[in-house]
Structure 1
């Protein structure tokens, strides 16, 4: 098998920040991470999402996929000047073979001195809650004072709607940080644990202010010297609350500490091997034709993997996967029409999981259908679904339900033609596929 191709961002532009943040997003089906830059930009939308974690922000709203606290952001100051891109020499690419996002920049400050700033990160395909980041800074022609600030930024929202309350933030030892957050309805907890390892002679301190828990690292570098910061993040969430909060948080820290015993390259190698096995069974190779044909296929398969929650049949594939907040992160019946066939013929167990998601949510779908029938509409299943949306739509949206009835045409008639047939057909095809293997009885 030839190595899957890469996707490159041709040049830096603040007008395309969010476009490439979606196109070059990373994930593993458990969590999704937008390809935002480490440094802040006014138009940039950061995003990190967990499959199945939905919440209603307030009265009159509907459940939506929760945007988690940010762990990618870093403020880099060199000799007091904050790093920000404009037209520097630049290279940024997403490697489909390993899921690694890499960026290399030669940045010049206002006084003309140059610095190489390189970053790379990946979402582990082997250990689902793990994200690993690395950044290196090298002065090219002068000594420099470098300050890097990074940690857990819980000021992130869903376009202004806050879903998480800060339960506790703590620092453990010299390297570990943890923030535990609870959805405002008190039903779900999220634990975000970070470990920052820095090479060389550095000084460190911590701050916890305005929903930001940060580690500040300062270093004095000579020309040609390099400072490297590796950041490991472990993200757990629960909705059962079987364990005491402190015990649950401590368990997350222990998992992170075990990972921190390995280097970035060691963790990447394990994740890349997981990707290699996945590609070996599923990659389609184009012989001849344009290079873009192969890239398009690799791109599609890559995103199919990172958006599919193969680990949990209580979750399914949202309209934008785990790359953003479009459509509130709801699951449409398009999942069964367009995405299920790939899983049906490449891994039937994943197809079964996606179909069982519909089965788990039948009570909510039936309740919506009965509510629609009372208003003299046909007794039909809802167009979209997200946990917690079974009872009703917000008042201002209740009577505006758009149903696709043919390609390119949308009508708010409340009559989704072909929807029930599509779902039944996919279930039938699944059992037909498994009949010869003897698994259909399950």
Structure 2
């Protein structure tokens, strides 16, 4: 639920991004991901000198994908070796942890501060500092709240120090207010040569999109983390990630491919979570790319691996679509169609969020079939008939109805789908795009199969439409990308997806012919990874 964007500067975090938090601001007049409070930024002073990137040596940073930790280490002059690690805690979806270790090479004095800073886009920032003094613990809470750019959301964050000293011997914490957008709390400590001093910062960030009372909840979650303690927080986080990695994809004899696969899985797991009813954008929680919107990437490219390795997470991704099914019905109605039509770019509500200058929003309709295909594949893997009845069938039947109304019925074998943006997005406003037509056929066929499994009479029209949607060919026998395709360069794989994952083309000779043809139509640069 929290994405931490790393920085090459010691003790800095570039951005903190929250899943499910959108507001109408920035480019495109559409909902965008929001930067949240940067609740892990800190500074460290040694003998009165503040550490920065220019003053350290042997600076190393490492992402541990198995433990989901970002580890940094450096030397400071001849005075200290410093390491720190931060975590977006897997078992606590709104909580993060910074773990710091300082080994003194000579007697030193340190001052360390946790700095809470509001991003520029937020407004009406309020800063709070509170100390809760109990017989067994003192909890220092550095807290901030602000409204999102339109005032739609209340965004809140809080953090606290976790000290290793016994109660009553902890360093004294001092609060400083710098300006409306930034405040901090700090402490000082003497460390003798040869000693290692450890402390941590735990914090939580949450919005009114996630909780009705985010200000108090941010502090409650932070207090909980404080009293759990560093060791338990890291232990439970590690255990959760170990459970994720019990499912794996193993590549033998190719270390680079193995690392690439693990990187992909790590990011998929980092961007998704069981029980959230959220689905990842192409850049996940690694920043504000693609405005945080959900595209076909979620169902067609990310979903298959998640489905096989962790179907409980795949179910959450589909729940995101199911909860927006009624909005998809309204979208179909507005465009003159029946059933449900999912948006090309989706955010919080499920309305179309594509900026108006992009034709993909009004015309890249294959997304609707991609959602349905993912729903069918979920059932095929899990064999969860109750889910199929309650969640899958409403999606499959409504999307099948969409395609039955979307085709133009121009005679047997000519139920055409005209005026679309292809999966190859350089092909705009074309007729009978190969991927769109084939995905629609799959959608209709899977809806028919689902009906039979559930003991529901399928609409005979679905079979008729599926059998009548054309897949065009060029004169040389190659599958044509669309009705007016004449060998132009392509941006994305399109025709070749009919073999996999759609399985609408199964003849080995045809698959080979299509691959050999379209691999020569790919530019050397400017195309996404799915094409290269």
With the shorter chain as reference, the TM-score category is 0.7 to 0.9
Q: Tell me, yes or no, if the aligned pair for 1:106 and 1:115 is still in contact at 8 Å.
A: yes
Q: What's the counterpart of residue 64 of structure 1? A: 32
Q: Tell me, yes or no, if the aligned pair for 2:33 and 2:291 is still in contact at 8 Å.
A: yes
TM, length-normalised to structure 2: 0.63
Q: Tell me, yes or no, if the aligned pair for 1:121 and 1:131 is still in contact at 8 Å.
A: yes
The alpha carbon displacement at 1:373 in A equals: 7.0
Q: What's the counterpart of residue 7 of structure 2? A: 36
Distance 1:241 1:321, change over 3 A: closer
Q: Relative to total residues, which structure has the larger strand share, 1 or 2?
A: 1
Distance in 2 between residues matched to 1:74 and 1:124, nearest whole Å: 19
Q: Relative to total residues, which structure has the larger helix share, 1 or 2?
A: 2
Distance in 2 between residues matched to 1:203 and 1:146, nearest whole Å: 13
Match of 1:207 among 150, 159, 176: 176
The alpha carbon displacement at 1:331 in A equals: 0.9
Cα deviation, 1:254-277, whole Å, max 9, x if unaligned, reads 333233224322221111112112
Q: Tell me, yes or no, if the aligned pair for 1:151 and 1:194 is still in contact at 8 Å.
A: no
Which structure has the higher relative contact order (CA within 8 Å, separation 6+)?
A: 1
Name structure 1 gaps, 5 residues minimum.
1-29, 404-413
The structure with the larger Rg is 2
Q: What's the counterpart of residue 147 of structure 1? A: 111
Q: What's the counterpart of residue 358 of structure 2? A: 400
Distance 1:300 1:67, change over 3 A: same
Q: What's the counterpart of residue 322 of structure 2? A: 359
Q: Equivalences for 1:278-357 in 2 at 5 Å?
A: 278-280=244-246, 282-287=247-252, 289-313=253-277, 315-357=278-320
Q: Tell me, yes or no, if the aligned pair for 2:343 and 2:353 is still in contact at 8 Å.
A: no
Are 1:440 and 2:388 an aligned pair?
A: yes
Match of 1:96 among 40, 56, 65: 65
The alignment yields a C-alpha RMSD, in angstroms, of 3.1
Matched position secondary structure for 1:70: coil
Cα deviation, 1:64-112, whole Å, max 9, x if unaligned, reads 111111122112222332212247113322222221222211122xxxx
Match of 1:223 among 193, 196, 201: 193
Distance 1:428 1:133, change over 3 A: same
Distance in 1 between residues matched to 2:314 and 2:190, nearest whole Å: 54
The alpha carbon displacement at 1:372 in A equals: 6.6
Matched position secondary structure for 2:6: coil
Name structure 2 gaps, 5 residues minimum.
133-137, 391-532
Q: What's the counterpart of residue 348 of structure 2? A: 387
Are 1:424 and 2:389 an aligned pair?
A: no
Q: Tell me, yes or no, if the aligned pair for 2:346 and 2:352 is still in contact at 8 Å.
A: no
Match of 2:48 among 55, 72, 80: 80
